[in-house]
A and B are shown apart, each in its own frame.
Chain A
Amino acid sequence: MNIKNIKITFWRVVAAIILLFGIIATFQRFFYGLGYATHLSDKFPWGLWIGFDVISGVGLAAGGFTITAIVYIFNLKKYHCIVKPTVLTAFMGYVFVGIALLWDLGKYFDIWHPLVYWNHHSPMFELALCVATYTFVLFLEFSSFTLDKFKWFRKPVNFLKGIYILLVILGVLISTLHQSSLGTLYVIVPEKLYPLWYSKLLPVYFFITSIGAGLGMTIVESYLSWRALKHEVPTEILANLARGMVVIQLTFFVAYFEDLLVHNKLHYLFDGTFYSFMWWLEFIMWTLIPTIVVFNRKWISKRAGVFVAGFSYVLGFLLNRLNVSTTAMEYSAKAHYFPSWQEIAVSASFVVICFMIFGFAVKHFDIFEEEHSTN
Chain B
Amino acid sequence: MSKAMLIDITECLGCGVCAEACKKENHLPGEVGKELNYANYTILEEIEDDVYFRNLCRHCVDPTCASVCPVSALHKTPEGPVVYDFDLCIGCRYCMIACPFGIPKYEWHKPIPRVRKCIMCYDTRVKKGLPTACAEACQNEGGGATYFGERDELLKMAHKRIKENPDKYHPFVYGEKEVGGTGVMFLIPKDVPLKKVAQMGLRMDLPNKPLPELTWNVLNKIPVIVPVWATFLTGMWWLNNRKIEVTENDGVKPEKKSESD
In the complex, what distance in Å separates the CA atom of A45 from the CA atom of B95?
Answer: 10
Query: With a CB–CB cut-off of 8 A, which chain A residues contact B172?
Result: none
Of B149-157, B161-169, B186-194, B224-232, the one with at least 4 CB within 8 A of chain A: B224-232
Asked whether any CB of chain A lies closer than 8 Å to the CB of B88, the reply is: yes
**Residue of B71, B110, B111, B205 with most chain A CB atoms under a 10 A cut-off:** B71
Do B234 and A169 have beta carbons less than 8 Å apart?
A: yes
In the complex, what distance in Å separates the CA atom of A48 from the CA atom of B207?
Answer: 30
Do A169 and B93 have beta carbons less than 8 Å apart?
A: no
Of A56-64, A117-125, A272-280, A354-362, the one with at least 4 CB within 8 A of chain B: A117-125
**Residue of B92, B219, B234, B240 with most chain A CB atoms under a 10 A cut-off:** B92
Of B11-19, B46-54, B101-109, B135-143, the one with at least 4 CB within 8 A of chain A: B101-109
B-side interface residues, number (CB < 8 Å): 55
A-side interface residues, number (CB < 8 Å): 58
Q: A173-B226, A177-B222, A185-B94 are in contact. Are A165 and B237 (CB under 8 A)?
A: yes
Asked whether any CB of chain A lies closer than 8 Å to the CB of B67, the reply is: yes
Q: A123-B215, A184-B215, A188-B211 are in contact. Are A41 and B108 (CB under 8 A)?
A: yes
In the complex, what distance in Å separates the CA atom of A127 from the CA atom of B222?
Answer: 12
Q: Contact mask B162-201 → A, CB, 8 Å, 1/0?
A: 0000000000000000000000000000000000000000
Name the residue on B nearest A190 (C-beta). Answer: B214
Do A203 and B243 have beta carbons less than 8 Å apart?
A: no
Do B108 and A176 have beta carbons less than 8 Å apart?
A: no
Asked whether any CB of chain B lies closer than 8 Å to the CB of A339, the reply is: no
**Total A-B Cβ pairs within 8 A:** 163
Query: With a CB–CB cut-off of 8 A, which chain A residues contact B69?
Result: 119, 122, 124
In the complex, what distance in Å separates the CA atom of A105 from the CA atom of B92?
Answer: 5
Asked whether any CB of chain A lies closer than 8 Å to the CB of B252, the reply is: no
Contact with B237, one of A43, A73, A111 (Cβ below 8 angstroms) = A73
User: How close is B194's CB to chain A, nearest CB, in angstroms?
Assistant: 16
Asked whether any CB of chain B lies closer than 8 Å to the CB of A156, the reply is: no
Asked whether any CB of chain B lies closer than 8 Å to the CB of A108, the reply is: yes
In the complex, what distance in Å separates the CA atom of A297 from the CA atom of B255?
Answer: 45
Q: Contact mask B80-115 → A, CB, 8 Å, 1/0?
A: 000000001111111011101010011011111110
Contact with A42, one of B98, B105, B212 (Cβ below 8 angstroms) = B105
User: How close is B100's CB to chain A, nearest CB, in angstroms?
Assistant: 6
Asked whether any CB of chain B lies closer than 8 Å to the CB of A72, the reply is: yes
Asked whether any CB of chain B lies closer than 8 Å to the CB of A189, the reply is: yes
Contact with A114, one of B71, B205, B234, B244 (Cβ below 8 angstroms) = B71
Asked whether any CB of chain A lies closer than 8 Å to the CB of B254, the reply is: no
In the complex, what distance in Å separates the CA atom of A203 from the CA atom of B100?
Answer: 20
In the complex, what distance in Å separates the CA atom of A22 from the CA atom of B243?
Answer: 52
94-120 of chain A: CB within 8 A of chain B: 104-108, 110-111, 113-114, 117-120
Show 25 A/B contacts (Cβ-Cβ < 8 Å), sorted by A.
A32-B111, A34-B113, A36-B109, A41-B108, A45-B93, A74-B236, A75-B237, A110-B89, A110-B91, A117-B72, A117-B88, A119-B69, A119-B70, A119-B71, A121-B67, A123-B218, A127-B70, A169-B233, A173-B230, A173-B233, A176-B225, A176-B229, A188-B67, A189-B100, A329-B97
Residues on B facing A (Cβ under 8 Å) = 36-37, 64, 67-72, 88-94, 96-98, 100, 102, 105-106, 108-114, 203, 205-207, 211-212, 214-216, 218-219, 222, 225-226, 229-230, 233-234, 236-237, 240-241, 243-244, 261
